[in-house]
């Protein structure tokens, strides 16, 4: 049996265009953690264009199962998705708890002007455009648990990583 606190799940959430995926991937690299992306999982399951709640939850359940497998291997995980509803966040809290792992939540925020600019260009893994951002903005449930809020700009990645790394030290 694993010792309590022997693993770490880092949930990186935020609206489309906030910079969460760019940040999450670099955070995983910096921490030598496994990077799991809902967009990449959706693409690998050939589920592009399927965004009914049932389809979204399927992606989150697949990502949660992948997270559990990595925790079983002793690997820290950075999970990258919108995580707009508490049910999605709770799913990962349950996985962490079952594996005696710590969980940290990081929410990435950006100005609407920057989000509009970012979403104007097509992205390889994501289908989200500004219309998707606007609809998700109305659905995004504020956190009711402890989390780190980071503001994304065009040139502050190093600062964001430094703040996140310092914040995550409490989970060592």
In a structure prediction context, what are the per-residue pLDDT tens digits for the chain, which is 172 residues long? 344 446 999 999 999 989 999 999 999 999 999 999 998 998 777 655 555 667 788 999 999 999 999 999 999 999 999 999 999 999 999 999 999 999 999 999 999 999 999 888 766 666 666 777 888 899 999 999 999 999 999 899 999 999 999 999 998 7
In this prediction the pTM is: 0.90
**Which single residue is written with the structure tokens 């989200």?**
128
Q: What is the CA radius of gyration of the chain?
A: 15
Tell me the H-state helices in 73-143: 86-98, 112-119, 130-139
**How far apart are alpha carbons 120 and 131 in whole angstroms?**
11
CB 33 within 8 A of CB 153: no
| Domains of the chain, CATH where assigned | 9-167 (3.40.50.300)
To which H or E segment does residue 54 belong? helix 53-72
Q: Give the chain's length.
A: 172
């Amino acid at each position: 049996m694993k010792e309590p606190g022997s693993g770490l799940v880092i949930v990186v959430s935020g609206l489309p265009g906030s910079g969460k995926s760019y940040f999450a991937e670099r955070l995983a690299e910096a921490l030598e953690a496994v990077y799991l992306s809902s967009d990449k999982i959706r693409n690998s399951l050939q589920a592009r264009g399927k965004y009914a709640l049932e389809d979204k939850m399927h992606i989150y359940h697949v990502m949660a199962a992948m997270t559990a497998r990595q925790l079983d291997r002793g690997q820290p995980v950075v999970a990258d998705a919108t995580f707009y509803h508490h049910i999605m966040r709770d799913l990962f809290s349950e996985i962490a708890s079952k594996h005696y792992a710590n969980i940290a939540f990081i929410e990435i925020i950006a100005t609407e002007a920057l989000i509009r600019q970012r979403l104007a260009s097509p992205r390889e893994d994501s289908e989200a455009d500004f219309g998707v951002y606007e609809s998700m903005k109305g659905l995004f449930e504020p956190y009711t648990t402890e989390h780190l809020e980071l503001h994304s700009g065009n040139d502050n990645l190093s600062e964001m990583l430094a703040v996140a790394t310092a914040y995550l030290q409490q989970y060592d």
